[in-house]
Structure 1
């Protein structure tokens, strides 16, 4: 159990964000080390203070990182299962290592470096072609004949179901893409800063109906690292501590592999798979959606932002479309500002770790698009196969 306010994020660091494949000739480990060193500098810590690693996705080699950086001793290294759904949960894993006495200063990290051909199934791809998202197995044999190979194709079915059940319009997905691009417009770190209109959105190339070009996350390279330590130690470091109030990861049991074989019950088919995690993270923090000042919601596809808005209680289930279209997620004028950094869609896709970085900057009062008086931030990881995850941070 992660104990409330006993740990804090004290450092965040990143590399530049590159167009896919343009980070070469740097290696993935080189990018990782640069982000870690930047996070240490931000915190006012030496790399020799680091003694733990809490990962998600990615498959990092802790030994290689430790040797490359000259870390004298590693006391803890672990990875949350799953993929991008563990982005927020990796901070909870770091906190668990600290509160249990297994480590003192823990790095959470994501590095994404993509060859110019394909991220999914690159081993099967040839130059200039794409690859399947995963090899064939008994589970995927059920959906592959329908053309469901990549995540966008699978999430499009959840979006279609939401539209069928609740009358959700593509304009709601467009509002998410447009508002996040607005947030990225004045951020020097953002890769996509050109504003888009609803006409731009509705006329964009369709990729997997109803998902068009602007509904998809970008593909890019880069690294982001955070450093977590005890609340006691955090008070003596360079930056104002950002305390971890609560963390949760997992999913409803039959959500599991939902997006890869569509086996979830109708009750939450058209959802982000976060409802159980949302309940847990709020209960552990002793807060509700009404207390959250800024939400950093994992946004690999726009409909999943809308469904998270519902699953985390910012509006009722099925009302996400009108809620979003009303402007409720806008930075300056909305009731719950969402992805104030531009998110995966417009700033950079580092598999969710930019969301943690933005939450920390918001609560320090250092964000480019600062939410006035922000005291509590929600950060999520996924929708994805189990686990999805969430944390609540406070200043």
Structure 2
């Protein structure tokens, strides 16, 4: 499969602001504009020169409303990925990169902002977007309940041991405890803390669930040539894929494979377009809205199999710097915080620059997986060197 993006576009700047839920000192647009300015300052680019804006997940911030604060000279790209979940995260990078590679814009920001005092609880927004009366009639009124149904099927159908799930949680909190930006920074977390936490929707306990935070994140993309003239080492987008296949869709809840999170066709195209495979990935930033869905994402990308999950999902194997399958080196959605996933993309860039709080030695490639189980899924591969 031809890949028109390989090596043409790079991440040049990142910015993220994160606060406890209901703790943001500014409104949502104020937090977002500060994140965009931070990304531009990181790159050494005037925010007024950003001419492209792409978001996902029903973000409420229209780019034209950001123009006065940013001093924007001209908007040439203003778009978003359909779908209410985090599955569109890497689809946003795909759109921005296509626009830059074809000359539609020169500097595009991929962003997501979430200040719940303005936009409301994310869980409520997800339910309003995704859920119709056949869910509510069965008493399903929260995202955790929907995902718990699939999680239970995964555990039973694939004999997934609870210990394997626990190892992913422990790895996230290990990384988060060492990341000054994480909500779990400096905190001790052990298996008993997890096991004693309350049930949310069986088999999901409290610490199986992503946190909700106020905040915003932004990543500045420019052409590879332009990036080489800016402050930071370029992090290249090798490829991105988004979509869904027959037998998968929003509100279906009767998918051909009920234990899948929908990544198989996306991953297949991603490997084809980049010429890479699971063994070529040095580190993975995994969107885990819930733990079981995160594990299914690893399976969907071929990094592990259901049969090997018990062996592969070991704490020592999942952590930096020594693990063979390091994941969520910032703490991920579970332990760093949750701004609808934009934070894991920021961590991918930092990891490949050598700026992560939990560096993976000599990491050259990073796989980023969008929200699992969303109606539209997406993934991307970033690298600090071109193949």
TM-score in same-fold range (> 0.5): yes
TM-superposed deviation, 1:159: 1.0
Which of 131, 134, 144 lines up with 2:128 in the alignment?
134
Matched, 1:349 2:342: no
Q: Distance in 2 between matches of 1:277 and 1:211?
A: 26
1:199-278 equivalences under 5 Å are: 199-257=192-250, 260-265=251-256, 268-278=257-267
Q: Distance in 1 between matches of 2:150 and 2:314?
A: 19
The answer to whether the Cα contact below 8 Å between 1:51 and 1:106 also exists between their aligned partners in 2 is: yes
Q: Distance in 1 between matches of 2:121 and 2:54?
A: 27
1:94-113 equivalences under 5 Å are: 94-113=96-115
TM-superposed deviation, 1:91: 1.2
Partner of 2:184: 192
- Where 2:378 maps in the other structure, the secondary structure is strand
Q: Distance in 2 between matches of 1:292 and 1:386?
A: 25
TM-superposed deviation, 1:197: 1.5
Partner of 1:36: 36
The answer to whether the Cα contact below 8 Å between 1:51 and 1:105 also exists between their aligned partners in 2 is: yes
The answer to whether the Cα contact below 8 Å between 2:261 and 2:374 also exists between their aligned partners in 1 is: no
Q: Distance in 2 between matches of 1:2 and 1:185?
A: 39
TM-score (norm 1): 0.91
The answer to whether the Cα contact below 8 Å between 2:168 and 2:315 also exists between their aligned partners in 1 is: no
TM-superposed deviation, 1:318: 4.2
The answer to whether the Cα contact below 8 Å between 1:255 and 1:385 also exists between their aligned partners in 2 is: no
Gaps in structure 1 of 5+ consecutive residues: 123-131
The answer to whether the Cα contact below 8 Å between 1:293 and 1:337 also exists between their aligned partners in 2 is: yes
Q: Distance in 2 between matches of 1:354 and 1:8?
A: 17
Which of 121, 139, 155 lines up with 2:124 in the alignment?
121
- Where 1:389 maps in the other structure, the secondary structure is strand
RMSD: 1.8
- Where 2:66 maps in the other structure, the secondary structure is helix
Gaps in structure 2 of 5+ consecutive residues: none
Distance 1:331 1:147, change over 3 A: farther
The answer to whether the Cα contact below 8 Å between 1:306 and 1:321 also exists between their aligned partners in 2 is: no
TM-score (norm 2): 0.93
TM-superposed deviation, 1:3: 1.9
Q: Distance in 1 between matches of 2:91 and 2:42?
A: 22
Q: Distance in 2 between matches of 1:141 and 1:85?
A: 23
Q: Distance in 2 between matches of 1:65 and 1:318?
A: 49
- How many residues end up aligned between the 2 structures? 378
Which of 341, 357, 376 lines up with 1:387 in the alignment?
376
Q: Distance in 1 between matches of 2:141 and 2:311?
A: 31
Partner of 1:129: none
Residues 218-268 of structure 1 deviation map (CA, whole Å, 9 limit, x = unaligned): 1110111000011111111100000010000012232211xx441201xx2
